[in-house]
Chains A and B, each alone.
Chain A
Amino acid sequence: MSWHPGADHVEVMRPPAPGAAGGTYRAFAETLRGLKTTFSRVVEGVHTLQYPEQKTPVYPRFRGRHRLHKFEDTDLEKCVGCSLCAAACPADCIRVVAAENTPEHRVSAGERYAAVYEINLSRCIFCGYCEVACPFDAITMGNDYEMSDYQRSDLIFTKEMLLAEPVERTPLRADGE
């Protein structure tokens, strides 16, 4: 008595046996199909982005190199040297040394300001926690991602470097792009 599979049995597609003559004929046909496939890649054109000349635009929320900000009207620094960013940093790459503002020497809007503000970018993991931790929006993540250098010490960015207007090197993605 033969075995009857149920109604829900599965048909297994088996490839033809790799025979000599039939296999060669199939290989020939498949070769032609392959030639067509590769040739359609030529017709399709290239997908390469010529990187240093052309760049992929980044999204607006892309987390690149940090930037420090100033108030536009008073030209005072937003950072008050609270070190919350340094506390939030999982990679421990931010160093803040705070100093008191004096009436003669007023740097920031608050009581204190950051006398030293350094980010070691060779340690930074670009998680953006510093941006989240900052109560005054003084530090934000920019769009710059081209930060390779020859010396590790050159990757320690000081306050002046972070405050400076960055060279526009990274295209930003437009709406809907």
Chain B
Amino acid sequence: MSPQLAVVQYYEPWWIQILKAVVIFAIILQLQPILIVGERKLLGRFQGRYGPNRVGPYGLATPLADIIKLATKEQFRPDTSIGWMFALAPVISVLTAVGALAIIPFGDTQDIFGTDVGLYGLDVSIGPLFVFAMGAVAFYGIMLGGFSSGSKYSFLGSMRAAAQLISYEVSQGLALVGVVMTAQTLSLTEIVHAQQGMWYFIPQFLGFLIFLVASFAETNRAPFDLVEADAEIVGGYFTEYGGTRFTSYLFAEYINMCVVSLIMVTVFFGGWLLPFGINPPGWVDPFIVLGKTSFFLIFFIWIRATLPRLRYDQLMSFGWKILLPLATLNTLVTAIILVVTD
């Protein structure tokens, strides 16, 4: 193993960096309304109904109407809230969600008009650690939001967030260690290159399952949506939020969903690689990544339509007693196999 974990072999001009950042941000942001209306329509199908189909053709303009409604609402906050923190919290959520997008590879380095451009924001040598760092800060967005609202439901939600996100982040991180050991690199593009022969979800199937389950908890999606739990604590940390601030939280949640799906595709499902030796031209790569990602997004929605919310003690005992030992075992076994076969 080389002492350097990732080597950037080319130089990108500064304007390409900015351009890439804008393009990735714009594309992922435009995916969110599609994701929201897609989720509502799919949830409808899972329950034997149509879902929204009144606004625009096939109801596709529904998120547009929603956003116009939310954006034109009055800004308000409770008397008991802490003003600056209340305003800052959704910003943290969105920033960290978008920030995690920076390192996700959508394709290999391409030669565009004579300039080498990597189809990713950055190829950092700390890859998954960056994502976990962003996830750890994102939890402040949720916790500060609930804490500063000055409402009991919000406070309960933020306390739940604190416990849940911390306990599942451990398993999520450990599940990736197996992959990192197998690929011998932390750079996400290098991890994709290392999957040339076999996608990592086959040798690291347990790790994939643990990561998948922990991702549901990390993104506060059903069945781990105790942080929101609209039936118990009226939306949890965003109970007191309305208008654009609520929209920010909503977008952050859906961007987070996209981010974990993209990470899963990159780390376990070979990123932009296709099986059976199919090797399309480079410009197809982002579409392959997004196509694989949409599969996971649909799976997220499918799970939401299927599973009821866990009880709080079940959530905790599942995280600490099952997921964490399994993730540790996975790491140990992978390490032993790697040493033995090396």
Contacts and interface: CB of A to CB of B under 8 A. Distances in A.
B322 A41 contact: no
Given A20-B321, A20-B322, A24-B318, A38 B306 contact: yes
A21 interface: yes
Contact of B322 (A21, A45, A48): A21
Nearest to A33: B306
A46 B307 contact: no
Given A20-B321, A20-B322, A44 B48 contact: yes
Contacts of A44: 48
Contacts, number: 39
A41 B50 contact: no
Contacts of A20: 317, 321-322
Contacts of B306: 31, 34-35, 37-38
Interface string A82-124: 0000000000000000000000000000000000000000000
Contacts of B49: 46-48
Nearest to A18: B314
A39 interface: yes
Nearest to A31: B307
Contacts of A21: 322
B302 interface: yes
B327 to A, nearest CB: 13
A149 to B, nearest CB: 23
A42 interface: yes
B307 A41 contact: no
Given A20-B322, A31-B307, A48-B50, A42 B45 contact: yes
Given A20-B322, A24-B318, A24-B322, A39 B48 contact: no
Contacts of A50: 50
A135 to B, nearest CB: 48
Given A20-B322, A34-B306, A35-B302, A41 B317 contact: no
Given A20-B317, A20-B321, A39 B50 contact: no
Interface string B293-327: 00000000011011100000000011001100000
B168 to A, nearest CB: 15
25 contacts: A20-B321, A21-B322, A24-B318, A24-B322, A31-B306, A31-B307, A35-B302, A35-B303, A38-B46, A39-B46, A41-B45, A41-B47, A41-B48, A42-B45, A42-B46, A44-B48, A45-B48, A46-B44, A46-B45, A46-B48, A46-B49, A46-B50, A48-B48, A48-B49, A50-B50
Interface of A: 20-21, 24, 31, 34-35, 37-39, 41-42, 44-48, 50
